[in-house]
Structure 1
Amino acid sequence: MPRQTRRRSYDQYCAAARALDAVGDRWTLLVVRELLAGPRRYTDLHADLPGVSTDVLASRLKDMERDGLATRRKLPPPSAATVYELTVRGRQLLPVLTALAGWGAPELAERRPTDAVRAHWFAIPLVRALAGPGDRSGVVEVRLDEGVFHVRLGGGGPDYGDGPATRPDACLTLDADTCVALGRGELTLADGVRTGQITVEGDTAFLGVMSTSVPSGGTGSAGGG
């Protein structure tokens, strides 16, 4: 019988310690962050986790499969690509990432020259900011200079995803600093629209703001498929 490598553990009968046994290794929660956006290929994960080695990423994905946090499946033809996706238990880490992002938000006061950035990294705090105090439901496409992502309010699938939405109910155009301010609660959506820091298009009534789109301008990637 082949010898099994003993899993590293804090060996403490404590819920927090047990959780850290599964997700406390470097890069694991950032892999979760990427997979919360939906199924991803290994190459996509590696591209959006700058700094991780191929060996470490492969090891983390293997650990996540072992711990029941992620699964691997092959897409049907013509793609036939293999993707990783979170299990139900893995998706239950969204509130953990949301709380962690809220706690770490003050550290975004200044962007370091060495900082990598991807547009969808702003999604987790923004989901909470756009959800607001009411029961909002809809798909919002968010356009930054750094890229485009979308968030889904009110359930019904992944809470956010990289790239344009297929049929967004509303589109927001803003810069990264404004997005950070929204996520940190330093700016409301209504105030951002009123001051011109945020442009909104589409059916924005569910967000509690009026559209500021220019009818003749077009929206590019906002169209549905």
Structure 2
Amino acid sequence: MRGYGQYCGLARSLEVVGDRWNLLIVRQLLLGPARYRDLIDGLPGIATNLLADRLRDLEASGVVERRLAGSGSVVEYALTPWGAELREPIESLIRWSAPLMVCGPGDDAFRPEWLALAVPALLGSRVKVRVSVTVGLEIGGSTFQLRASRAGFEIGPHDGRELDATVRAEPACILGLSAGALTLADARGLGLVEIDGDESVVRTVFAA
């Protein structure tokens, strides 16, 4: 991207992350360090040569770094501490996007792990829980666990621990519940969600 020639924080930030795909690459790396093939799989529609170019630019700017994965010789990409500070603006954009997500995915690609960033961002801005609970989310054949506590919300793959309740729903429904745009009662009434276990726990997490 060409420089804007403006002494403005927004302009200079966009010079680093404003190119197409850059923030989506950061999104993937906020989920955890990833190998090149993992990034290709997690970014449907990106060309391999374009991904290589974007990673090179982000690395040159100090947002991304390359390192060896474990004790092997395979290279993985990770955010630098400065790059990881993009979590806050990205979560703000996710919250801002709520009205754009109401219509559902349509023909757009979707990967369940993207909810690992979106759901805590949406819930954390409006819901406070007093006790620690763990809710399973079954979405698109994948099972995640959503941990809620006084410290906030965290989502990841189900690690086998006992769940207080399990929610089965489509991605748009989970996002609507997380954003407070859809109540659990309405979702149940419309047949958009199924719940196993303690429904009161689910109501606590997805408080309207």
What TM-score does the superposition give when structure 1 sets the normalisation length?
0.71
Instruction: Give, as a single letter, the amino acid of the residue that structure 2 aligns with 1:15.
Output: G
Classify 1:112/1:178 alpha carbon distance in 2 versus 1 (closer, same or farther; 3 Å).
closer
Classify 1:200/1:100 alpha carbon distance in 2 versus 1 (closer, same or farther; 3 Å).
farther
**Range that drifts further, 53-62 or 111-120:** 111-120
Task: Give the CA RMSD over aligned residues.
Answer: 3.4
Question: Partners in 1 of 2:3 and 2:108 — Cα distance?
Answer: 31
Instruction: Please list the CA deviations of residues 131-177 of structure 1 after superposition, one character each: whole Å capped at 9, or x if unmatched.
Output: 42246767655320253445565699xx555xx24365746432123
Match of 2:195?
Answer: 199
Instruction: Give, as a single letter, the amino acid of the residue that structure 2 aligns with 1:20.
Output: L
- Counterparts of 1:115-130 in structure 2, within 5 Å, are 115-130=108-123
Match of 1:217?
Answer: none
- Counterparts of 1:208-219 in structure 2, within 5 Å, are 208=204
Question: Partners in 2 of 1:150 and 1:70 — Cα distance?
Answer: 28
Equivalent pair of 1:119/1:147 in contact (CA under 8 Å):
yes
Q: How many residues align?
A: 197
Q: Which has the higher helix share?
A: 2
Question: Partners in 1 of 2:138 and 2:118 — Cα distance?
Answer: 15
Match of 2:27?
Answer: 33
- Counterparts of 1:141-160 in structure 2, within 5 Å, are 141-150=136-145, 160=155
Question: Partners in 1 of 2:24 and 2:197 — Cα distance?
Answer: 31
Q: Among the aligned pairs, what percent are the same residue?
A: 34
**Range that drifts further, 115-124 or 146-155:** 146-155
From 102, 106, 118, the equivalent of 1:109 is: 102
From 88, 93, 97, the equivalent of 2:81 is: 88
Q: Gaps (5+ residues) in structure 1?
A: 1-6, 210-225
Q: Gaps (5+ residues) in structure 2?
A: none
Deviation at 1:117, TM superposition (A): 0.7
Are 2:46 and 1:21 aligned? no
Question: Partners in 1 of 2:11 and 2:128 — Cα distance?
Answer: 33
Q: Which has the higher strand share?
A: 2
Instruction: Give, as a single letter, the amino acid of the residue that structure 2 aligns with 1:108.
Output: M
- Counterparts of 1:46-57 in structure 2, within 5 Å, are 46-57=40-51
Question: Partners in 2 of 1:137 and 1:24 — Cα distance?
Answer: 38
Question: Partners in 2 of 1:21 and 1:123 — Cα distance?
Answer: 27
Deviation at 1:186, TM superposition (A): 1.7
